Amino acid sequence: MAVGAKSQDATEDFRGASPAVDVEDETEEIEDDGATEAAGGLGKLNTVFISWSKLMRCQLTLVLFKESKKKKKKKKSKKKKVEQSDPPRVGLSKLFTDGIYPEGEIQEYKDDNNWRKTSEEKRYDERTAMEDPELTFQDIRRAAEVHRQVRRHARRYIMPGMSMTEIVENIEDGTRALVEENGLSSGIGFPTGVSLNNCAAHYTPNAGDTTVLQKGDVLKVDFGVHVNGRILDSAFTLTWEPTYNKLLEAVKDATNTGIREAGIDVRLGEVGAAIQETMESYEVEINGKSQQVKAIGNLSGHSINRYQIHGGKSVLLVKNDDQTKMEEGEYFAIETFGSTGRGHVVESGDCSHYAKMFDAPHVPLRLTSAKSLLKSINKHFGTLPFCRRYLDRAGESKYLLALNHLVAQGVVQAYPPLCDQRGSMTAQFEHTIILRPTVKEVTCAA
């Protein structure tokens, strides 16, 4: 304020008086005083500015330091989700790290058993079963998921021109890898069946078999997986000849009918009647002539026990008087076979399938080679079915005499190929079901 007042007085003196020496002196005096005060103000401002600059530099340094620390911190890399390979060879434990495997298709019980779904008592029974290592459904679900993934690949992979050996080895390699084969704890449930045309079941190539799949063939692919003795048994049929599409449709429909009719306290004969009625409602036109699809009367589905593929109960594919009932907690392979032939099979061809009898008798074996072979069978297969290729893989050689001796003594059961009349075609579809206390579970449904 002082600097402005002095400047105003000097201007008034200049206007109201004649020029004098005093004016110049006054002006100089005013300038000197203003410069002194300005210099003092600027000094203070300069000090403030320097302090503010230092503060800003400190803050900037702190910000840069924090930013550098952030950059140095390594970002946690997200674990890449493990995916199945093609062909499937990644073990399921790497895909299902929590050990919980997918539940199968759920079907409610019919009619008088429908109450089970909402019963608190039956729900409790299921929870208890899941906590019991011998009763848990996780074992069969793990086996089912292996089957599902291997089956999905096999359907795309199998083509005419491939040898039977190539087909079964691809399926078995996938099964062993996915189930993470471990002695008798987990592995293949039974030999991979690849029965062709009129042969309905129990054919797998022995060493040296050079059979090649042809475009006009009807191929049944039947393979199993087991976890802790819980065997998953499922099959499907492939054909590249449209003539036989109706045959496949009939058998698939019949299998679904059997699954739908199965249930706790249902009589086995009633299931067989429903299967036959469905299957034989279909016709196949071959060379301009219609032929009824026939249910193969001497083949059947079956119950499955731990380490025992045929558990003692049979589900025939035709109407019969069997009053045996299905029971809670049982496992069943509902499988049906249809044919354009007689609907009756007989044993035919070289045997490839075998299994040690579940209740094998203790008999003296006079052949040393038979004793040695039995020891190998017990070690590698127990009571699970096996084939000659599996004995080869286990390191056995020149064993046919010993094997036939074990069969003759009733220690091992032979399962030769089962065939309808020549020129006919057969088809098969199969799923394993659990009769749970509350519902029916189709374990390996797609």
Instruction: Point out the residues that are catalytic.
Output: 222, 233, 302, 310, 335, 430
Please name the residue ranges forming H helices in 120-234. Answer: 120-131, 138-157, 164-179
Two structure tokens written together for 136: 């848990």
Q: In what order do the strands lie in the sheet with 386-387?
A: 386-387, 353-356, 412-415
Give yes or no for a cis peptide into 205 (omega within 30° of 0).
no
Give the burial string for 119-152 (b: 16+ CB within 10 Å, else e): eeebeebbeebeeeeeeebbbbbbbbbbbbbbbe
Secondary-structure percent of the chain, ordered helix, strand, coil, rounded to 5: 40, 20, 35
Q: What is the DSSP string of 158-191?
A: --TT-BHHHHHHHHHHHHHHHHT-BTTTEEEEEE
d(CA 135, CA 200): 33
d(CA 257, CA 334): 10
Run of H or E including 431: strand 426-435
